[in-house]
Chain A
């Protein structure tokens, strides 16, 4: 591994750090915000499972993102990741809704335009479709899970204290599963654009063999895990804003979000769907925050008309606006940044295929 490679990779690692600092809250925010799980425990668990998820199952979503555009020069990968990071940072500062996933996709499209590479519209449509599908699926999973848990509680009537004990264990298990899914799905956002241009080789540590792709995922996973250590303020905010749901609702939201990220990352599930003759789900990175918002709406819907009135429709409208705004801004920044990196810093940002 060379120093220039690490310098180029720094933008992706920075993106990973911001993703960890923000999205770890979607996984453990409710548990930490409600003081059921200590922040230190949550951060360590989150970091560990993000890492495992990224290395073990990160390939699926990363491959899906690669179909949109294979950024084939390190300078290009660096610039695309940087453009996505600038978009996320800028839109966060401006108070606009933003998703790392959508920023990365926009930045890749910007690279496609700059390098005159044709954007695979089928892949783009598939990815954009998952943006709409993920909050809807989040709501659906949450609705089903909430009804199932409510039924179980009504039938078995656990003591309030036993139920809380189970909820606490549930928060830890669901949080760990959510962190695994986050790593598996969102690692593509962090280092996915470096996969085609990476100079890394396969390494082995005894029986453990890491492919070049997995080495990248490991580094990205570490960046997300370190970011998770800095997620306390966001966790407290997310936790407190979700708690009015009630503890079961909070748990359901975490479970639903974990499921959404899992189904868009799991090659095994995709294979199973094909095997039983069902249309396979695309393996692409999706926004965990939007899955959470969908799940919150699902829990509200479980309370019928009363719950429906509590839904903040402006949040959903902002998400829809973000679907268009984020990739557009990221594509523009990416295009301009690629121009600067190529012409001012004289770095290769793309290789002409076949030349």
Chain B
């Protein structure tokens, strides 16, 4: 009986839906943990709280990898429309890449532990907020894509807006760094970390652009 239940196509699809939702939750939670960890780091250095956030992000990244792999296998074995399978896997791949970048950023922060002067903090906080909001909006648009492709397309402008905000704030921080009296190697190290945050917003924006195309393909 259990075997019959688990092999039912409707049940398989329901399991798949739960996994997809779970994956999107993981991306969203990882971005929130990253923002909280970075803010705490900028205020108080590498504390136990930041260590905890770092461990959370690594766990989210592992869970995301597992879920993505399981979803991919299920999508192919259920013989859904190949076009849909391709689009969904591309989207999940782009979001999984965000998880990778989040993990890499926090790991590099832990290794290098750069010292950002307090003067840069307001712009950095602003950049972090805008970056994580870009990721959040991309996750929201992804949720919409699965239920209502028209809404997913309409959410594009928010993703672009926050990515633009993150880029502006990032440029302000870089300009401030290079107009300071810090040694060049320190300037380059700080810039490297700012660019890592900016890359996160860029990739979320790219995922949003791909999502818009997938949504157009699904629009009736």
Contacts and interface: CB of A to CB of B under 8 A. Distances in A.
B81 A34 contact: yes
Interface string B82-121: 1110001000000000000000000000000000000000
A247 interface: yes
Nearest to A167: B81
B80 A164 contact: yes
B13 A247 contact: no
Nearest to B151: A157
A335 to B, nearest CB: 50
Given A157-B148, A160-B145, A34 B13 contact: no
Given A36-B79, A165-B10, A165-B13, A160 B220 contact: no
Nearest to B150: A154
B82 A161 contact: no
Main secondary structure of the interface of A (DSSP, over half): helix
A243 B17 CA distance: 25
Interface string A246-288: 1110000000000000000000000000000000000000000
Contacts of B172: none
A168 B80 contact: yes
Contacts of B79: 35-36, 168
B83 A161 contact: no
Contacts of B146: 159-161
A146 B220 CA distance: 9
B43 interface: no
B5 interface: no
B82 A34 contact: yes
Contacts of A168: 79-81
Contacts of B204: none
A153 B220 contact: yes
Contacts of A246: 217-218, 220
A35 B148 CA distance: 25
Contacts of A153: 220
Interface string A138-163: 00000000100110011001111110
B81 A36 contact: yes
Main secondary structure of the interface of B (DSSP, over half): helix
Nearest to B10: A165
Given A150-B220, A157-B148, A165-B10, A35 B84 contact: no
A159 B20 CA distance: 11
Interface in B121-158: 145-149
A160 B9 contact: no
Contact of A35 (B78, B82, B149, B217): B82
B217 A161 contact: no
B218 A161 contact: no
Contacts of A146: 220
A248 B220 contact: yes
Contacts of A159: 17, 146-147
A331 to B, nearest CB: 45
Interface string A216-253: 00000000000000000000000000010011100000
B83 A34 contact: yes
Contacts of B171: none
A154 B218 CA distance: 12
Contacts of A162: 13, 17
A39 B209 CA distance: 35
Contact of B84 (A157, A161, A243): A161
B55 interface: no
Nearest to B144: A157
A298 to B, nearest CB: 14
Contacts of A167: 81
Contacts of A247: 81, 83-84
Contacts of B20: 161
A161 B88 CA distance: 9
B16 interface: yes
B84 A160 contact: yes
Interface-central residue, B10, B20, B218, by most chain A CB under 10 Å:
B218
Given A153-B220, A248-B220, A164 B84 contact: yes
A179 to B, nearest CB: 20
Interface in A31-53: 34-36
A243 B79 CA distance: 16
Nearest to B82: A35
A34 B16 CA distance: 21
Contacts of A160: 84, 88, 145-147, 149, 218
B220 A149 contact: yes
- 6 nearest A-B pairs in the assembled complex, by CB-CB distance: A164-B80, A150-B220, A160-B146, A157-B147, A165-B13, A164-B81
Given A158-B147, A164-B84, 8 more contacts: A34-B83, A35-B79, A146-B220, A159-B147, A160-B145, A161-B146, A165-B80, A247-B84
16 contacts: A34-B82, A35-B79, A36-B80, A153-B220, A154-B220, A157-B147, A157-B148, A159-B17, A160-B88, A161-B80, A162-B13, A164-B80, A167-B81, A168-B79, A246-B217, A247-B81
